[in-house]
Chain A
Amino acid sequence: MIKIDVDMAKCQHYGQCVFEAPSVFELNNDDKLEYTATADDSERANVEAAIDVCPMQAIRIVE
């Protein structure tokens, strides 16, 4: 399992992460980011790609 942390004080809900790891991140009906706090190890590459595309660099994998 990997643990995912998004700094919601930084997040501006640009939603770029959604395209890289759709099983972890989504924009809700109010265009606000929601995410799962944990994901399977197989999602690591996708979450790292989501980290790479986050304009606010708000996403981290917490080991």
Chain B
Amino acid sequence: MSHPVLIVGASMGGLRTAEALRRFGYVGPITVIGDEPYAPYNRPPLSKEVLAETVSHEAVAFEQRESTADVNWVLGTRVESADLEHNIVTDANGDVHPYSALVIATGLRPRRLNVANGELRGRHAVRTLDDAIALRADLKPGARVVIVGAGFIGCEVAATARTLGCDVTVVAPGISPMQRSLGTELAAEMQRRHEAKGVVFRLKTAVTDLVGESAVEGVVLDDGTTVPCDVLVEAIGSHENTEWLEGNDLNLSAGVLVNNDLRAMRQNGVPWNNVFVVGDVARFPNPAYDDDARQIEHWNIPTETAKRVAQVFTEQAQGEFRPIPSFWTDQYDNHLLAYGVLALADDVKLIDGDITGDCVFGYYRSGKMVGVCGIGMRSVVQSYRANFV
């Protein structure tokens, strides 16, 4: 029997790759290895609507499709290493998995605070289902919650915790929440909306240490003050899960560098013919923007990259891979939707609506639109989508 297509990573990217391989006609064996004990599930609700209610696998599990019923799922198993010359992956139990093609879908893990007094209960990150279950148990009304990091995850958790009746303080180094993604004006407006709900921001500030004996009781800031807290949420970015790929002549400086067909490249730029990368961990060039390869940590990228890999693998790929980056976020009753790479912009303008209500911002680089983001006003936001195709 021929060796399977081996997908390492049993989250959305792994699942969508298996589905897409079947959709494009691959009928051979597929094995998916994942370190979490759960079948693939959807992560965004873990900081939003599911965190606000009951966190369970059932609430977030992706529906299994008939086309992938014969996929071999190896869950609860961490991979240790890969030998791309010999087409094998070795897991933590020492089992060796030969493959005909390898799909790298190992994603990211949360970065954590590096502080002297770090061995305390009450510290949380939000990436996995187990993370969210643990956090939910601590989000009791009146709990003093400090969130470090004011990106999307930090702001979503802030909104959810506030809605659950917690006292919420957000500590972050930036000048306003989500500023790097949304631009100054929209970020400042989102800060106002959070503050109107009672969230306290401690910006342009870093955490230097924690206070507490066995559980966290406070965070020490670099201005010398201490913010008391019962629950600490660390939403300060992520690391790529690529250590298992070391020693294979790959460029692992920020994710795995791939070409436009999502084939992993050797240091000299020559791709491995049977090694592909999908999802958050892929650093790929998008010719819709420029020649720079980027990791795009948006929810639509696992699905888009999985489809491209299946098309390339089954020799049905046509043209360039130019996915439209898109993201959304829900914070209270503010529902933001964006297309493009907003962070590329050198100029941001309100193009429709009213900043205090529903509104749409355009993001421009050298006068050319590189992104659009709206609160509400879907039809207007959608009307600009064609600019990014």
Interface on A for B, CB 8 Å cutoff? Answer: 10, 12-16, 18-19, 27, 31, 45, 48, 51-53, 55, 57, 60
CA distance A10 to B330 in the complex (A): 12
- Report chain B residues within 8 Å CB of A18: 382
Inter-chain contact B376/A31, CB cutoff 8 Å: yes
Residue in contact with A15 in the complex, picked from B63, B300, B303, B378, CB distance below 8 Å: B378
Tell me, rounded to whole Å, the shortest Cβ–Cβ distance linking B120 to chain A: 35
- Report chain A residues within 8 Å CB of B62: 57
Tell me, rounded to whole Å, the shortest Cβ–Cβ distance linking B386 to chain A: 10
CA distance A37 to B44 in the complex (A): 27
CA distance A42 to B210 in the complex (A): 58
How many A-B pairs have beta carbons closer than 8 Å: the answer is 36
Does chain A have a CB within 8 A of B335?
yes
Interface on B for A, CB 8 Å cutoff? Answer: 16, 23, 42, 44-45, 49, 62-63, 65, 299-300, 303, 326, 328, 330, 335, 337, 376-379, 382, 385
CA distance A31 to B42 in the complex (A): 25
Inter-chain contact A27/B300, CB cutoff 8 Å: no
CA distance A55 to B47 in the complex (A): 13
Known: A52-B16, A53-B300, A55-B299. A60 touches B376 (CB 8 A): no
Inter-chain contact B335/A14, CB cutoff 8 Å: yes
Inter-chain contact A45/B376, CB cutoff 8 Å: no
Residue in contact with A27 in the complex, picked from B23, B45, B382, CB distance below 8 Å: B382
Known: A14-B328, A14-B337, A16-B326. A27 touches B379 (CB 8 A): yes
Closest to A45 in B: B23
Q: List 12 A-B contacts (CB under 8 A).
A: A10-B49, A12-B330, A14-B378, A15-B378, A27-B378, A31-B376, A51-B63, A52-B16, A53-B300, A55-B299, A55-B328, A57-B45
- Report chain A residues within 8 Å CB of B42: 57
Tell me, rounded to whole Å, the shortest Cβ–Cβ distance linking A21 to chain B: 15
Tell me, rounded to whole Å, the shortest Cβ–Cβ distance linking B163 to chain A: 16
CA distance A18 to B330 in the complex (A): 20
CA distance A52 to B323 in the complex (A): 15
- Report chain B residues within 8 Å CB of A53: 300, 303
CA distance A49 to B45 in the complex (A): 20
CA distance A12 to B330 in the complex (A): 9
Inter-chain contact A31/B328, CB cutoff 8 Å: no
Closest to B381 in A: A15
Closest to A16 in B: B326
Known: A14-B328, A14-B335. A31 touches B63 (CB 8 A): no
Residue in contact with B379 in the complex, picked from A19, A31, A45, CB distance below 8 Å: A31
- Report chain A residues within 8 Å CB of B300: 53
Inter-chain contact B63/A60, CB cutoff 8 Å: yes
- Report chain B residues within 8 Å CB of A60: 63
- Report chain A residues within 8 Å CB of B385: 19
CA distance A55 to B382 in the complex (A): 15
